[in-house]
Structure 1
Amino acid sequence: MKYIVDPAIFDLAPNLEFGIILATDLKVTPSNEADQARFIEAQEALETRCKAEEIRSLPTVAAYREVLQKAGINPNKFTPSVEAMLKRVAKGNRLPSINALVDLANAVSIEQTLSLGGHDLNDIKENLEVRFSRPGDMFLPFGETQWEAVEAGEMVFASGHEVQTRKWVWRQSELGKVTTATTRVFFQLAGFAGDPALDRAMAAIEQLVVDRLGGKVQVFRVNRQQPEIEFIRPEA
């Protein structure tokens, strides 16, 4: 299986860099007391240091918005999911607990103000690509059962014709949702060359997988110099 970033994406943002972590043999459980404490601490720390109106000016968030604009996507209408999450937290509204993996990954995202997504590989059968959408691409919105067509030319993250995330970092699909039954996860972290936040976030996710979830990891970097990687899709 391959993960490929279309060169046209790097034409928009040459300094884009993706951190990829393939996690296997996971034991995902409900969050325990320590997980919940870390999750809450990350939210409280952000609320203390940032006002909601300042979130869009954070370096990573501002950079995501710029990429979206270059791709012809209005970031005010299609707000990056990490920006929406950070604004919610900065306003004092706590995120609900989902499970240990999701809660702790969200804690990392909040701490590093970085976009990261975890996708259950059980729902992913074809190559993964960051590209512009093509005729025939379809999207199953989170929590829904009815597929919707995606117009050609939209920046997406997709597996075959199944779009995993629309408007690049806006909305994730129901496909790949992580639950306590999940044992294999494809983590995609979106950062920028030279930004230590990506390094810190990758190290934190790797530690989460190994130390808390008892799993194994393969770690990759994808950038303009190396726009694709190949890996063996792990069996369930």
Structure 2
Amino acid sequence: MPDVRSLEDFLARARVDPAVFDLRPDYRALLVAVDDITPAALDARSEALVRRAGDVARELLDSRPVEQLPHVAAWREAYRAFGAKPQRTRNSLEALMSRAAGGLPRVNAITDIYNAISVIHQVPLGGEDRDRYTGAPRLVRSHADEPFDTVAEGRDVTEHPAAGEVVWCDDAGVTCRRWNWRQARRTLLHEDTSKALFILDALDPMTTLALEAAAEDLLHHLGPGVVASQRLLAAP
């Protein structure tokens, strides 16, 4: 039986390095650990939510280009602060918004739900399989020696971030590069995932209340049977 105390223990060990807050003191990460997900029960719910996200994206983009959306623009500034070029490596919210008006990609029900929530609430949001974690999540500036498993030209490869790049890691290596740009293959959600970690990233002008509302909406769509715990990481 899922135990909320084990989720709380996992989240209690998560951290954001002070060097990241030095870049953006307004940064907040809301971590949501979830157990007892039933992927087979999510299909109809995810399809309706993806359609709603497409409607939201079309309405938002009707009056301005994606790079002028307030939270997208804030993340572009954050990327520049550690040397990334936002035109080449879009933050996850911008990448989704660039595709959402024409239809979000379908991956699996859990991923489709969190992608839709990302668009609807205008927040970068990543989901990972917690069973594939080694140790606790931490957000750091890279030393350039951490392994990152990905695919290049159809082949499995191991890459390394640039020095100073902002990356999410566990004890086995990088789980997401460039703050919220690209996830490692190792911890990707899959069709049988029952234990997940979701990371919601906020910068001003997004408020903490809006961040928490996005997490609440996510949990609602994952279903009433899930067990969850949350932790907000913010600058002291």
TM-score of the two chains, using structure 2 as the length reference: 0.86
Question: What is the aligned partner in structure 2 of residue 197 from structure 1?
Answer: 210
Matched, 1:63 2:91: no
> What are the residue-to-residue correspondences of 1:71-220 with 2, within 5 Å?
71-90=82-101, 93-141=102-150, 145-192=156-203, 195=207, 196-211=209-224, 214-220=225-231
Structure 1 spans left out of the alignment, 5+ residues: 226-236
Higher mean displacement: 194-203 or 53-62: 194-203
**Distance (whole Å) between structure 1 residues aligned to residue 100 and residue 223 of structure 2:** 27
The aligned amino acid for 2:44 is: E
Instruction: Report if the CA contact (8 A) 1:38-1:107 is conserved.
Output: yes
Question: What is the aligned partner in structure 2 of residue 25 from structure 1?
Answer: 36
The aligned amino acid for 1:21 is: V
* Aligned-pair CA distance for 1:100: 2.1
The aligned amino acid for 1:3 is: A
- SS at 1:105 equivalent: helix
C-alpha change, 1:29 and 1:73, in structure 2 (3 Å) is same
Structure 2 spans left out of the alignment, 5+ residues: 1-9
C-alpha change, 1:89 and 1:133, in structure 2 (3 Å) is same
Q: Deviations over 1:20-55 (max 9, x none)?
A: 100011111275334312211211231133149611
C-alpha change, 1:223 and 1:161, in structure 2 (3 Å) is same
- SS at 2:212 equivalent: helix
- SS at 1:63 equivalent: helix
Instruction: Report if the CA contact (8 A) 2:42-2:222 is conserved.
Output: no
* Aligned-pair CA distance for 1:209: 3.1
C-alpha change, 1:163 and 1:126, in structure 2 (3 Å) is same
Q: Percent identity?
A: 26
The aligned amino acid for 1:131 is: V
**Distance (whole Å) between structure 1 residues aligned to residue 149 and residue 221 of structure 2:** 28
- SS at 2:98 equivalent: helix
TM-score of the two chains, using structure 1 as the length reference: 0.86
Q: Deviations over 1:74-118 (max 9, x none)?
A: 11121112201101123xx21232222111111110101110001
> What are the residue-to-residue correspondences of 1:3-14 with 2, within 5 Å?
3-14=14-25
**Distance (whole Å) between structure 1 residues aligned to residue 88 and residue 139 of structure 2:** 21
> Which residue, 37, 41, 59 being the options, matches 1:48?
59
**Distance (whole Å) between structure 2 residues aligned to residue 85 and residue 135 of structure 1:** 27
The aligned amino acid for 1:6 is: D
Pairs aligned (count): 221
Higher mean displacement: 58-67 or 195-204: 195-204
C-alpha change, 1:190 and 1:98, in structure 2 (3 Å) is same
* Aligned-pair CA distance for 1:210: 3.9
